[in-house]
Structure 1
């Protein structure tokens, strides 16, 4: 691993340089000497430079990493030093930008396969054509998705937050059993708001899970997104969860009760007493019967939301009760106010800083 002298606050510079070096090593057939040195630095006017040897020719490539979108009108003239080739590398370079770079004296590369390396002294020329449209920015302005409020969007966000590694859009959609189009729209909005790490058409990587969760809950909410029905429990609110525990209906508890259960399972109970019971189910009538509930839209303290994600999202069980995945609990609590939101913030801290067992 090497120290990045510029752009260091942004993850992705070293990754792009590594991928550029790997790409160089594949440009000539086996049997042709093709060697790339480890990156090095000089006075900080460039991001890095590498020595590239092809057969008997050795050139010094001076790398200028552009993590953001480089537009044609943003291209400046290259400063060419004798024996060196100035190279812009970026997650994606549009055809018009490539033309502007070439006119200004730059060589260039992006991970989609666009490459131009031209050296006069010593003579060397390589050119390949890759993607003409940015795979990472399918739609950025205007945005097809205006907020992160929707039910399907919540599934995408829960899945992204729970996924600690990197994944492709299609693999993620397949694993979560979600429409590719729905996942793509959410990814486009997150990318537009700079919440994803640029990967040049590679995997989906969140910059910061905490920021993503907080941004999601600016739009999302249990009540505003799922419009739950309110009920009064004929046997008392305390009996609701016990009745569900003994039933065979599909349900999952969320909200304060779920946050309490998460910490109780970890040996830290008693943070906040719930004033309401929040439940997801795919069968409202079955939950009504099992928990002995009567509709009460004005003062009911048992909220039951119809949802279709129960068979797609992992849940956890504590003391025989089913609870939604912890990242959904975070979303449901952070979108509230007061002490319940504080409980959500505590759970968010636990998931972000905790070990892998907390990522369900």
Structure 2
């Protein structure tokens, strides 16, 4: 038997499962009944069906239910908010209730901001009414189950190609267009356009015509991190530094080592930006074709299967070496790359990533200083 979160995503299936879940939330003493609008043709039966919620004392609240295959923040702001206002104009005590297989945390926040109730089949729900006084809030899945419907044209933020676009959106001040981004990242224009459409649906970018004029760079970095994992994206080898991290860091500045493409990321780099903790593994990016036994010997590292205090990451894409920073004579990844790596890393790294984001926000004018006209083909090498 399928769980409710795995039902076929037709409007009928979503509504029926949602109605059962709604009844279970209210329990005894409440009547939760559906009454489809007779003015709608059968094909549109689930477009604006009504649900009445009644108490034993005879008080009742009415919801116009809008069943969606998928709900995005942009849909909330540009369609559902207007619908909510219209519903309230018709009857003050009637509200809008959105049902879907799954609703993302960002979309839930937008719905709550507009006073729109919602319920999904993974357990996320926010139901409000003024008369009778109703307030229900539950949390379900924070990530989309495999069964959840996605827009047919949606492109996700997974994969190395997406990271190129995310990095440039974070590092470069708008305005710019899709064509500018495609040229600068060496990605195809159709791919860039589709991914920008996904970001626009999530209100992570704003456009006027074809020109992007606003970018939520913190939101984009967090969204990218949700679709990737540092140690899955970059194959890694585990080592111990028997002579200690200080010796290893000194070796990184030697003439032989400095000829290799290496960059520090993870906790060590994060502490230089926003001190939050001590200790932890030292993570080093290296270009895969620069990785060899001679390099490891010169760094004084010994391979181990457990208890590693050094991880050597094979960089999944040249993008990780863009905008390297020199800190105390050592190469560190760019701030936007550091935030991505920490947010998508294991253990305490996500907390360190949030601290890095806070520091970046406080000093945005110091690092977000690039203009699109100066970096064509910047990501190509």
Structure 1 length normalisation: TM-score?
0.53
Match of residue 142 from structure 1: 152
Q: How many residues align?
A: 219
Does the residue aligned with 2:212 lie in a helix, a strand or coil? Answer: coil
Match of residue 302 from structure 2: 294
Tell me how far apart the structure 2 counterparts of residues 315 and 182 of structure 1 sit (CA, whole Å).
27
1:278 Cα deviation after fit: 0.9
1:337 Cα deviation after fit: 5.9
Match of residue 172 from structure 1: 181
| Of 240, 245, 256, the match for 2:253 | 245
1:232 Cα deviation after fit: 2.4
1:290 Cα deviation after fit: 3.5
Given that residues 251 and 310 in structure 1 are in contact (C-alpha distance below 8 angstroms), is that contact kept between their aligned partners in structure 2? Answer: no
1:144 Cα deviation after fit: 5.0
Given that residues 206 and 212 in structure 2 are in contact (C-alpha distance below 8 angstroms), is that contact kept between their aligned partners in structure 1? Answer: no
Cα distance change on mapping 1:177 and 1:287 into 2, 3 Å: farther
Tell me how far apart the structure 1 counterparts of residues 352 and 320 of structure 2 sit (CA, whole Å).
26
Does the residue aligned with 1:272 lie in a helix, a strand or coil? Answer: coil
Tell me how far apart the structure 1 counterparts of residues 187 and 253 of structure 2 sit (CA, whole Å).
29
213-222 or 287-296, larger mean C-alpha shift: 287-296
| Of 213, 216, 223, the match for 2:221 | 213
| Of 286, 310, 329, the match for 1:281 | 286
1:221 Cα deviation after fit: 2.5
Q: Larger Rg: 1 or 2?
A: 1
Tell me how far apart the structure 1 counterparts of residues 356 and 223 of structure 2 sit (CA, whole Å).
16
In structure 2, runs of 5+ residues without a counterpart are 1-76, 81-85, 87-149, 370-381
| Of 332, 344, 357, the match for 2:341 | 332
| Of 215, 230, 245, the match for 1:222 | 230
Given that residues 149 and 225 in structure 1 are in contact (C-alpha distance below 8 angstroms), is that contact kept between their aligned partners in structure 2? Answer: no
Does the residue aligned with 2:204 lie in a helix, a strand or coil? Answer: coil
Of structures 1 and 2, the one with the larger relative CO (CA 8 A, separation 6+) is: 2
Given that residues 176 and 312 in structure 1 are in contact (C-alpha distance below 8 angstroms), is that contact kept between their aligned partners in structure 2? Answer: no
Given that residues 314 and 325 in structure 1 are in contact (C-alpha distance below 8 angstroms), is that contact kept between their aligned partners in structure 2? Answer: yes
Does the residue aligned with 2:238 lie in a helix, a strand or coil? Answer: strand
How do 1:1-360 and structure 2 match up within 5 A? 68=78, 141-143=151-153, 145=155, 147-203=156-212, 205-206=214-215, 208-246=216-254, 247-248=257-258, 249-263=260-274, 270-282=275-287, 283-285=290-292, 287-307=295-315, 308-309=317-318, 313-336=322-345, 339-359=348-368
Cα distance change on mapping 1:192 and 1:262 into 2, 3 Å: same
Does the residue aligned with 2:239 lie in a helix, a strand or coil? Answer: strand
Does the residue aligned with 2:208 lie in a helix, a strand or coil? Answer: coil
Cα distance change on mapping 1:255 and 1:148 into 2, 3 Å: same
Deviation by residue 1:56-89 (Cα, 9 ceiling, x = unmatched): xxxxxxxxxxx8489xxxxx9xxxxxxxxxxxxx
Does the residue aligned with 1:203 lie in a helix, a strand or coil? Answer: strand
Structure 2 length normalisation: TM-score?
0.51
Give the structure with the higher percent helix: 2
Given that residues 320 and 333 in structure 2 are in contact (C-alpha distance below 8 angstroms), is that contact kept between their aligned partners in structure 1? Answer: no
